[in-house]
Amino acid sequence: MTTGLEHYLVLAAVLFSIGLYGALAKRNAVVVMMCIEIMLNAVNIALVGFSRFVTPTMLTGQIFAIFIMVVAAAEAAVGLAIIITIYRNRESVETTDINLMKE
């Protein structure tokens, strides 16, 4: 059986679900960021799969994937800067400890 669009879409869904579970269930903020990167990559796989199998000559899906990469890089830089700042002020990157707005 040759690999078709459904194979790539199901793979993207599996990777997205793994990242979703990690982003919701993990306590370490850096690990949450890593899981968000997995989710963004899963979406990129789905977009490139659509671009390959539905519109193989226009490549619009790959353009969207490039923009997602731009946003992901900016998000990683700003997010990790925020995590480092929080660690400096509160000596912790556990998401359960960051409850300043709740106290």
Q: Report the site for other proteins in 27-66 (rule: CB under 8 A).
A: 27-28, 30-31, 33-35, 37-38, 41, 44-45, 48-49, 51-60, 62-63, 65-66
Nearest to residue 44, comparing CAs of 67, 21, 22? 67
Number of residues near other proteins (by CB under 8 A): 74
Residue 68 as a binder of other proteins (CB under 8 A): the answer is no
Q: Which residues pair with 28 in a beta bridge?
A: 94
| Least spacing, CB of residue 102 vs other proteins, in Å | 15
Give the HSE-up count for residue 74: Cα atoms under 13 Å, Cβ half-sphere: 6
